[in-house]
Structure formats: structure tokens, C-alpha cells
Amino acid sequence: MDIFLNLVGKNGLIFGFLVIGIIVAFSELFSKKVLNSKIPGSAIAIFLGLVLGYVGGVFSGGEKGLADIAIFKGVGILGGAMFRDFAIVATAIGASFYLVRKAGLLGMISLFFGIGLFFFMGVLLAYAWGYRDAASLCTIGAGACTYIVGPVTGAAVGASSEVIALSIAAGVVKTIAVTIITPIAANKIGLNSPESAMAFGGLMGTSSGVAAGLAATDPKLVPYGAVTATFYTGLGCLICPSLFYILLEMIF
Amino acid sequence: MKIIYGVALLALSYLIGQWLGEFFGNLLGINANVGGVGFAMIILMVLKEWFIKNSWMSPDIDSGIEFWNKMYIPVVIAMAASLNVKSAVSTGTLAIVAGAIPVVVSFFVFPMILKNFHKN
């Protein structure tokens, strides 16, 4: 057993490939045999990933889900920012530059609209929960955008660490919500073309949530959603601590 | 052997895109990457079309990029498993409400944006 643990410790990423392979195999089987392929295997695998992330957090008390358990460290490398962004960029190979350019305006409009919508709804909810100072309201509103915009904004406007932690948690909840709801709702909301996927990416913003949700809906849509969603965090980090903060300062 | 050209092309697009994102973040005075992945995707799309136009693309080069394209979902599964799901669910009601309610509202707003845009 010691030899095995030692081996896994030295080859974390390789063990990560195996672990994800097993999760996918199990999910595909479950989708086919139990659910008659009504829910795609990829959606089940992503959901199962979230469940394992929860279980990992319970066992380790750390911040990186399953990846905080020593032998699953490689899962964290595979699912970390570097591989995630590298693989997202690779999805562009299946996208048409012509279509991206054609839907560019719609994507831009949804970007600004999305950031405004999420921010001010986050602010309203924080207000309803009793927060009254501009810095806290701004940080929680920013957290409703993404889990990166939240802490970046919080640090910029000088929010307390509790509020910053809260904003990160809100952002993670958003990612999870988008991941789960997208494949369920896609048909009903007309999310079925490259153009609509670009608008969707701009509106929702969380690039991991959008990409995971679209992957479970129709993998062909992933690059179009991702190409707009990826501007959301940057734009949010730009607008939330500046323009939106000044607006809130004027009100409170 | 040529498969590495595909991977290298992807790496080049990735690095230039991320560098642009960091550059704009710096320029705007914020400590964040502004659209680095988006720039990288656009660079890769343009490079691909340029390669095809000059007939430099080969099945080997293509498969170097295609591999990572197909690895996307497994990477997302690994990412989901490394999220701080426990603290997200247990920090209290405001985090869950502020994270989830705007998402639900957006799913209702989304068809309206599409409809309005097509009207104009």
C-alpha cells in the first residue's frame, strides 16, 4: 500500500487521468443503463465531479475539493487554471471566425448587460440581508458576477475578509448553478446556435460554468460561449470597483 | 512527429493571448487578466485559417490541437471536482441566494435579449 501511495504521489497528474477516466466511464454507463440516455453522460460526470468536490471538502477541510486529498492532487492539476484555459482555447479549432465576428455585437451587448444585471441583483440581495455600506455591497455584487471579480473588487474597495469570502462563495454557487441549469433549460430558452451561445456566454459570464454547461448541452457550442464569457471576468474587474463602486458610494 | 506543431501552435496562441490579457489588465490598472483566453481563441482561429489558406495544415497538426479540444470535458470534470463546493454550500444563505437567484433570473431574461436583438 505504501509503495502504491508513493507511486501515486510521484505521478499525480497521471493518476488524475485515470481517476477522471473512471468517473466518465461510470457516468456513461449510468446514463445508458439507468437513465436511457435521457441525460448525457458528460452532464452526469460534471455533476458527479461537483459531488466529489463536496465530499473532498468535507474530508480534508481544504479549499480545493477532492484535490486537497493527497492522492487526488493530480485531479487538481488537471482541473487547474492552466489546463482549463489551454483546453478552452483548443475548442476554438472547431469554431468559425466568421460566425464569431458576425455575432460579435450581440455578444458585446450581452456582456455589459450581464455584468450590470448580476452586479445589481447581488447588491439588492446583500441589501436585503442587512448590508448597508458601499464596500460590502459592491463586493457581494461583484461576487455575484464571478468568484474572481468578487475578491478583486473586495481588495480594491477595502471590504472585510468575511465579505470577500462570502463573495467568492457566491461566485462558486453561480458557477455550479449555471453548470446544472444550462443543459436542463437550453432547449426552452433557444440556446441552440453559435449566435445564441455567444449571447449566453456574455450574459452568464462565469467561463467555467458556461463552458461546463454548454459541454453538457452541445459540445459544438462551447467555443462560442467561451469566447464571450472569457471577457466577462476582466470587464467585471474593471467596472465593479470603479464605476459601480462610485455609483454605490453616491447612494449610500 | 508533426503532431507537436499542432500542440505548439496552440501553445503559441495561448501564450500570446494570455500575454495580451495581462497587458490590458496592467494598462487599465487592474490586477486581472482581461480576456486573455478570448484573445487566444481568436488568434488560434485566425492562425488556423491562415494555415489552411496556405495548405500548411496536415492531419497530424490538426490532431495535436484536436486532442486538447476533446480533452476539454474531462478537464472540466476535474475542475468541478476541485471547486470549493463545500464552503460554497455552507457559508450561509446569502452566498447561495446571491449566487443562484441572478442565474435563474438570467435564464428568463435570455430569450428576451435574443428576441429584442433580432427585432432591431
ipTM of the complex: 0.88
**Taking the model in full, what pTM does it have?**
0.80
The single residue listed with the C-alpha cell 433570473 is: B105
Quote the minimal CA–CA distance from B66 to chain A in Å. Answer: 7
Domain boundary among A79, A112, A135: A79
The verdict on a CB contact (< 8 Å) between A79 and B13 is no
Question: Which residues neighbour A50 within 8 Å (Cβ) at sequence distance 6 or greater?
Answer: A176, A179, B80, B81, B83, B85
- Is A41 domain-assigned? yes
Q: What are the grid coordinates assigned to B108, written together? A: 428568463
Chain B residues in contact with A20 by the CB 8 A cut-off are: 74, 77-78
For residues A63 and A135, state if they share a domain.
Answer: no
Question: Which residues neighbour B5 within 8 Å (Cβ) at sequence distance 6 or greater?
Answer: B60, B61, B64
For residues A113 and A219, state if they share a domain.
Answer: yes
pLDDT at A120: 96
For residues A115 and A224, state if they share a domain.
Answer: yes
Chain A residues in contact with B93 by the CB 8 A cut-off are: 129
For chains A and B, count residue pairs whose Cβ atoms are closer than 8 Å. 318
Q: What is the 3-state secondary structure (H, E, C) of A194-217?
A: HHHHHHHHHHHCCHHHHHHHHHHH
For residues B88 and B55, state if they share a domain.
Answer: no
For residues B72 and B91, state if they share a domain.
Answer: no
CA distances from B78 to A64, A75, A80, B40 (A): 11, 5, 8, 22
For residues B70 and B38, state if they share a domain.
Answer: yes
Q: Which helix (H) or strand (E) covers residue B36, if one does?
A: helix B36-53
Chain A residues in contact with B48 by the CB 8 A cut-off are: 92-93
Contact with chain A for residue B15, Cβ under 8 A: no
Question: Which residues neighbour B94 within 8 Å (Cβ) at sequence distance 6 or greater?
Answer: A125, A126, A129, A140, A166, A170
For residues A114 and A238, state if they share a domain.
Answer: yes
Quote the minimal CA–CA distance from B56 to chain A in Å. Answer: 15
d(C-alpha A141, C-alpha A245), whole Å: 10
Testing the interface with A: which of B33, B42, B83 to mutate, by most A Cβ within 10 A? B83
pLDDT confidence band for B24 (50 / 70 / 90): confident
List of chain A residues with pLDDT < 50: none
Q: Are B62 and B6 contacting, i.e. CB atoms less than 8 angstroms apart? A: yes
Quote the minimal CA–CA distance from A24 to chain B in Å. Answer: 8
The verdict on a CB contact (< 8 Å) between A189 and B111 is yes
For residues B59 and B108, state if they share a domain.
Answer: no
Chain B residues in contact with A199 by the CB 8 A cut-off are: 110, 113-114, 117
pLDDT at A104: 87
- Is A31 domain-assigned? yes
The verdict on a CB contact (< 8 Å) between A49 and B78 is yes
The mean pLDDT of chain B is 88
* Of A149, A171, A137, the residue nearest A246 (C-alpha): A137
The single residue listed with the C-alpha cell 474593471 is: A238
For residues A149 and A205, state if they share a domain.
Answer: yes
d(C-alpha B37, C-alpha B15), whole Å: 9
For residues B45 and B90, state if they share a domain.
Answer: no
* Domain encompassing residue B35: 1-83
* Of B85, B9, B31, the residue nearest A55 (C-alpha): B85
Say whether pLDDT at B32 is over 70: no
For residues A31 and A153, state if they share a domain.
Answer: no
Domain boundary among A79, A106, A129: A79
pLDDT at B97: 94
For residues A134 and A173, state if they share a domain.
Answer: yes
The verdict on a CB contact (< 8 Å) between A66 and B82 is yes
pLDDT at A214: 93
For residues B106 and B71, state if they share a domain.
Answer: no
Among B34, B75, B77, select the one facing A23 at the smallest CB separation: B77
Q: Which helix (H) or strand (E) covers residue B108, if one does?
A: helix B93-119
For residues B23 and B63, state if they share a domain.
Answer: yes
For residues B5 and B61, state if they share a domain.
Answer: yes
The verdict on a CB contact (< 8 Å) between B34 and A95 is no
DSSP state letter for B28: T
For residues B53 and B111, state if they share a domain.
Answer: no
For residues A245 and A185, state if they share a domain.
Answer: yes
pLDDT at A85: 87
Domain boundary among A19, A53, A79: A79
- Total domains present in chain B: 2
- Is A37 domain-assigned? yes
Q: What are the grid coordinates assigned to B12, written together? A: 503559441
For residues A165 and A233, state if they share a domain.
Answer: yes
d(C-alpha A85, C-alpha B18), whole Å: 9
The verdict on a CB contact (< 8 Å) between A91 and B72 is yes
d(C-alpha A200, C-alpha A186), whole Å: 10
For residues B73 and B119, state if they share a domain.
Answer: no
d(C-alpha A220, C-alpha A211), whole Å: 11
For residues B93 and B53, state if they share a domain.
Answer: no
Nearest residue on chain A to B112, alpha-carbon basis: A189
Among A63, A92, A173, select the one facing B99 at the smallest CB separation: A173
For residues B60 and B88, state if they share a domain.
Answer: no
Could you give phi then psi for residue A13, rounded to 5 degrees?
-65, -40
For residues A33 and A115, state if they share a domain.
Answer: no
Q: Are A246 and A161 contacting, i.e. CB atoms less than 8 angstroms apart? A: no
Give residues 32 to 91 of B whose Cβ lies within 8 Å of A.
32-38, 40-42, 44-46, 48-49, 62, 65-69, 71-89, 91
Cα separation of the two ends of chain B: 51
* Domain encompassing residue A174: 96-251
- Total domains present in chain A: 2
pLDDT confidence band for B27 (50 / 70 / 90): confident
The verdict on a CB contact (< 8 Å) between A181 and B17 is no
Mean pLDDT of the region B29-37:
73
